[in-house]
Amino acid sequence: MLLVSTQQKRWAGFSVIELLVAAAVVVLLVGLLLPVVQRVRETGRRLSCQNNLKQIGLATAQFASAHRDRLPPGRIQKRNFKTVSWSSFFLEFMDHVDRQATWAPVTDADRVTHDTRLFLNADFRSQVNHKATTTKIRQYLCPSVSREESSRHNDIINESGDYYGMACIDYSGNAGVNPNEAHYSDHHGHPYPSNTGVLLLREVSGLSEGVPYRWITDGLSKTILIFEWSGVGLGGGQARGVWASGLNCNYVGHAHRNVSLINPPPAKVWEAGPNVPMFSDHPGGVNIVLCDGSVRYLAASTENHIVLALLTRASEEVAGSSG
């Protein structure tokens, strides 16, 4: 009888303890790498936002060149309808934007049309402007936005009413320092007058009535043109976050002294217009574009007197560096 001796096979493998150690190492590595990945992604989004503002700055400079060295007006009031915005006036100078504004006469503002132009001679809420105002403009939206006002979802107004479906904007025109609060004062200790910025809250009737460069005596490189005010929807019911609305230029400076000028809690941001703080979802600050077209990152730690100096065009403050 043939006897076959067999050896018990030894199976290679890991013990439970080894598996637990390996799993802990993997979790630790993921925990270390995830913040790095998130920071890299946010850096990309912030640069994309800065590129948006760079394009806006260039388009504004081209507008000024075509209008006797005048910036676009902050808003225009035509007859008795809602004002239209600075962000409507230089669309023709924006790269990769298929929406244009026109002063062509409108015979029937209630006519439904597929025309993609924004008719400045009609109320921006009218049917003739529906196609234009409901179209998102990529250069007007910050990719870092993660918090939105309740009246806004996915960069569109989602609250029923006149503005339902309209596309939003994450950037505000600089009308200057809030003139209504005595705790904001210039370097002489005096309250700021109205409209110390460059995209003003006053209603005008034509494109040639914007602020001329020669009025910006503090220097084009020391005066804010546009700042971030992201996530805004109706802004308390006023359509302040709609790109075509003439209400998306604001004074900076909250009514309450203890509210930061940069990135306070959202509850202090979206319903504060026209006296608002600057706001973004970038960690630690906001992007701004200056009147010379340069883009800067303004840290939330920037001292108030520097922020106020950057907001005024002719107050003779020393603004220092904006970062």
Q: Is residue 125 part of a domain?
A: yes
Of residues 285 and 117, more confidently modeled: 285
- More confident call, 246 vs 11: 246
Does residue 141 register a pLDDT over 90? yes
User: Per-residue pLDDT averaged across 52-57, rounded?
Assistant: 94
211: in domain:
yes
Asked if residue 24 belongs to a domain, the reply is no
- The candidate with the shortest Cα–Cα distance to 311, out of 192, 230, 180, is 192
Predicted pLDDT at 322: 46
Question: What pLDDT does residue 275 have?
Answer: 81
Lookup: tokens for 164 = 């339902």
- Residue 273 is predicted with a pLDDT of 65
Give a yes or no: residue 101 inside a domain: yes
* 62 within domain boundaries: yes
Q: Identify residue 16 by its one-letter amino acid code.
A: V
State the pLDDT at residue 100.
Answer: 81
Mean pLDDT across 258-267: 84
- Determine the pLDDT at residue 217: 94
Q: What are phi and psi of 225, to 5 degrees?
A: -95, -55
Span 270-322, pLDDT tens digits: 776 678 889 999 999 999 999 999 999 999 999 888 999 999 998 877 665 44
Q: Has residue 258 been placed in a domain? A: yes
Residue 27 pLDDT class (50, 70, 90 cuts) = confident
37 belongs to a structural domain? no
In which band, very low, low, confident or very high, does the pLDDT at 20 lie, cut at 50, 70 and 90? confident
pLDDT score recorded for residue 175: 92
Measured CA distances, 176 to 74, 180, 182, 258 (Å): 11, 12, 14, 19
pLDDT tens, 177-219?
988 877 787 777 788 888 999 998 887 778 888 999 999 999 9
pTM for this entry: 0.84
Percent of the chain with pLDDT over 70: 87
Range of the domain at 196: 42-311
How confident is the model at residue 34, as a pLDDT? 62
- Reference 142, options 55, 223, 47; nearest CA is 47
Q: Domain tally for the chain?
A: 1
**What is the side-by-side order of every strand in the sheet holding 224-228?**
275-276, 249-252, 171-177, 224-228, 285-290, 295-299
Q: Strands (DSSP E) along the chain, which ranges?
A: 75-76, 84-85, 101-102, 118-119, 152-153, 156-157, 171-177, 224-228, 249-252, 275-276, 285-290, 295-299
pLDDT at residue 37, rounded to an integer: 59
Residue 48 in domain: yes
